[in-house]
Chain A
Amino acid sequence: MITRLVRTAPPRALLLLGLLLAVLLAAPLALDRYLTSVLILVFWFAYVGQAWNIMMGFAGLLSLGHALYVGLGAYVAATLFVKLGIGPWAGLWLSAFVSVAVGAAIGWLGFRFRIEGVYFSLLTIAFAEVARIGFDHIGWTGGAAGLFLPVSAEAGAWFNLRGGPLFFYYLALMMATAAFVLCAALRASRLGYRWLAVREDAEAARALGIDVFRARMAAVLISAGLTSLGGVFYAFYYNNLFPGQVFDISRSIEMILAPIVGGVGTLFGPVLGAFILTPLGEALIAITGALGLNAPGTKAVFYGVCLMAIVILAPNGLWPALKRRLGVPEGDV
């Protein structure tokens, strides 16, 4: 699978990717702690953006509640670790399983009863909101007061996802790279073609023998599972979880901005979008902080402006526009 990808990809794209990866691998040598943490965020948003893009970009299903899977993944792995002493490498399987099961329930409700388009999106929001309110009231996991992971070094090392910024930097980089490769492979696969066909015209896809229900379901399950691993990372990186933060709709929106700005349905879109939006958002916080302004809504306003600019100037996203400028041929990237 991977060899085919390498064989069919344009040499220039491979060169570019290799260079980017090499620079990012070496980057921590030159970066301070703060910039490293910004890049960790960039990789995280590239990762979850890629996962969301499987549903929206490939299969045409708009999820506005992807924070649900982040929250479920985070809470399941963190609870197992804090309450039962089960490490994250074992816990992530249950995290993924729970998210996939919930995704299956949403998908089944949506596709079985033909809840399509914006109504499907509303369904995804509803599930995320129910989870947020639900976790606010589950005392065992801390409720609204939050769940905290032990920060002390004695909790273990890498095998418990405990480590310094460098550890999380390389872990996040690995996850973003793996998600990119996985999406490239999926997109070029038989399933990928089916997703695109369903996205373009479900009725015509059905007439070509495609089981639309199964294709859509596969997109939801894979996307939910991947996103929940992003949640596991979130829990062990930040060491604290609040339902009002992880499940919040503002998080769902923040997660989908990178692929929308970069280019929905493209492989580079989520990466490009994360590299542009996250540093800009962080810079904005730093600037308003330095100016002594206490304006909590600044980031939201900034994201709103970015979205409007993209919708007006490059409705397909920045990557397709950039691709034309660079003279990259139309294709699978």
Chain B
Amino acid sequence: MSALLEVRGVAKRFRGLLAVDHVSLTVNDGEIFAVIGPNGAGKTTLFNLIAGVYAPEAGEIAFAGERIDGAAPDAICRRGLARTFQIVRPFPHLSVLDNAIVGALLHEHDVDKARAAAGDVLRRLELWDKRAQKAGSLTLPDRKRLEVARALATHPRLLLLDEVMAGLRPTETDRMVAVLKDLNRHENMTIVLIEHVMRAVMALANRIHVLHHGATIAEGPPEVVTRDPRVIESYLGQADHAVGALG
């Protein structure tokens, strides 16, 4: 397996607070990689650094062998790195289908072909029946699915998913897990996910990277990481993510 995404010692500060403290990680082609950590650990900031929302103050980021740190979000997406937003951002007045078409038009110039491709993505995420609805009228679980569908429609090589399971019921989580597993297995999609729902992380991730106060405290396969005393300690005291949840 070759490295698809390499993050080397990136740092980002907000008003003196070190949100991401010289984090390094390598995501291999075809792998599902999870980033976990308590609230405020710097996970979303790390995502925003990778996706180009911020430029890192230190370190570098390479995607498919080329430096992407400091590049604009749209340029990074065009290279094949698509992301979802933790707080979903559908295009509310457009239909579900049109939302997905916008994504599909990234590499497809023909609108009819993009519509067909968008339809395929919507079927995969079980949104086809709701294609004519305005995205703003969807329920939260559907909006989360649309967020994934839209990113997927851009035909990325790597998918950055920021808490797509949050707010989903267990059965809905299982459906999303199945969709992501299927993508990974049959289309060799590399996936990096930030997730609090450990049930999903344990079911999906090949490797887990744990952040705490912006810094890496552990990395490895799920069964090793969840037994790491520092990881357990960092989660203690957080009622909603007690040790029991780590499994």
Contacts and interface: CB of A to CB of B under 8 A. Distances in A.
Given A190-B109, A208-B154, A196 B74 contact: no
A305 interface: no
B244 to A, nearest CB: 35
Interface in B76-122: 77-78, 82-83, 85, 89-95, 98, 101-103, 105-106, 109, 111-112, 114
Given A189-B111, A193-B102, A201-B89, A207 B73 contact: yes
A85 to B, nearest CB: 44
A212 B73 CA distance: 10
10 contacts: A190-B111, A197-B94, A197-B102, A200-B94, A201-B92, A206-B74, A207-B83, A208-B102, A208-B154, A212-B74
A196 B111 contact: no
B150 interface: yes
B91 A194 contact: no
A294 B205 CA distance: 79
Given A204-B89, A208-B151, 4 more contacts: A190-B105, A190-B114, A205-B74, A207-B89
Interface residues on A, range: 20 to 34
Given A193-B98, A194-B105, A330-B132, A209 B111 contact: no
B51 interface: yes
| B85, B105, B112 interface centre (most CB from chain A within 10 Å) | B105
A196 B98 contact: yes
Tell me whether chain B's interface is mostly helix, strand or loop, or mixed: mixed
A291 to B, nearest CB: 44
Contact of B106 (A189, A200, A208, A212): A208
Nearest to B106: A209
B192 to A, nearest CB: 15
A204 B105 contact: no
B72 interface: yes
Contacts of B93: 200
Nearest to A209: B77
Contacts of B95: 330
Interface string A179-195: 00000000011100110
B105 A206 contact: no
A111 B109 CA distance: 25
B63 to A, nearest CB: 14
A210 interface: yes
B151 to A, nearest CB: 7
Given A194-B102, A204-B85, A210 B111 contact: no
A206 B106 CA distance: 11
B102 A205 contact: yes
A211 interface: yes
